[in-house]
Amino acid sequence: MKTFDVPSFYRSPIISRVKAKRKIQDPRKQDFSPSVLHFNKVSFHLARHFGFCYGVENAIEKSYNALKENIGKRIYLLSQMIHNPAVNDDLTKNGIAFLQDTDGQQLISFESLTAEDIVIIPAFGTTLEIENRLKSIGCDIQTYNTTCPFVEKVWNRSGKLGSQGHTIIIHGKAEHEETRATFSRSAANSPSLVIKDIEEAIYLGKIISGDLEEANFYSFFEGKYTANFNPKVDLARIGVVNQTTMLASETESITAYIRSVMIEKYGLENIKNHMADTRDTLCYATNDNQTATLSLMEKTHDLAIVVGGYNSSNTTHLVEILETKFPTYFIKDESEIISKNEIHSFNIHQKFVEQRPSFLPNLPHVNIAITSGASCPDRLVDEVIQRILTLCEEDKSIEDALLDL
Whole-number Å distance between alpha carbons of 42 and 28: 30
Show Cβ contacts of residue 142 under 8 Å, excluding neighbours closer than 6 positions.
none
Q: What is the distance between the alpha carbons of residues 266 and 271, in angstroms, rounded to a whole number?
A: 7
Number of Cβ atoms within 10 Å of the Cβ of 232: 11
Count CB neighbours of 360 within 10 A.
20
- Contact assessment for residue 54 and residue 149, using Cβ atoms and an 8 Å cutoff: yes
The rounded distance, in Å, linking the Cα atoms of 102 and 324 is 29
Active site residues: 178
Contact 244, 150 (CB under 8 A): yes
Say if CB 379 and CB 19 are below 8 A apart: no
Q: What is the DSSP string of 71-94?
A: TTS-EEESS-SSS-HHHHHHHHHT
Alpha-carbon distances of 264 from 30, 235, 270, 277, 381, rounded to whole Å: 37, 14, 10, 17, 48
Q: How many residues does the chain have?
A: 405
Beta strand 118-120 pairing with 75-77: parallel
In DSSP notation, 242-294 reads E-TTS-HHHHHHHHHHHHHHHHHHH-GGGGGGTB---GGGS-HHHHHHHHHHH
Q: Are 307 and 332 in contact (CB under 8 A)?
A: yes
Strands 303-307, 337-339: pairing kind: unpaired
